Amino acid sequence: MKHSVNRPPTPDGAEDQGNEPTLQEIINIKLIESGEKERLMELLRERLIECGWKDEMKALCRSYVKKKGRNNVTVDDLVHLITPKGRASVPDFVKAELLQRIRSFLMSAAL
């Protein structure tokens, strides 16, 4: 590109802030673009239903709503309630399977 005038390059949005996209970011975008993220999400949903995790979370939410009253609970309350327990109770074999899938995706995507 010929610069006829001495001027600084056109600002490039976020990149110019000095923030290089992290590895996590790059992986995430690659996953989304290839459609793999969608497939992984479906797989995760299936596994979590099979092992009863979803039913457990549902039961937690139900008992909370029963306690507080149906009209006094918001989605944010429920998310706040089940996020720590939910993250902690994902079975190891589910985590292992998904990590394995992501690993093989990364190898095939040659990152």
Binding site for other proteins (CB under 8 A): 14, 19, 24-25, 28-29, 32-33, 38, 47, 50-53, 55-56, 59, 71, 74-77, 79-80, 83, 91, 93, 97
Residues 6+ apart with CB under 8 A from 54: 48
**Residue nearer to other proteins on the CB measure, 34 or 108:** 34
**Least separation in angstroms between CB 7 and other proteins:** 26
Residue among 7 and 70 whose Cβ is closer to other proteins: 70
Nearest to 75 by CA among 67, 86, 83: 83
Q: Which of 77, 106 has the CB closer to other proteins? A: 77
108/23 Cα distance (integer angstroms): 16
Shortest separation between residue 24's beta carbon and other proteins, angstroms: 7
Angle CA 36–45–51, to nearest 5: 135
Task: Determine the straight-line distance between the first and last CA of the chain, rounded to whole angstroms.
Answer: 30
Which of 75, 110 has the CB closer to other proteins?
Answer: 75
Token pair listed for 81: 């309630």
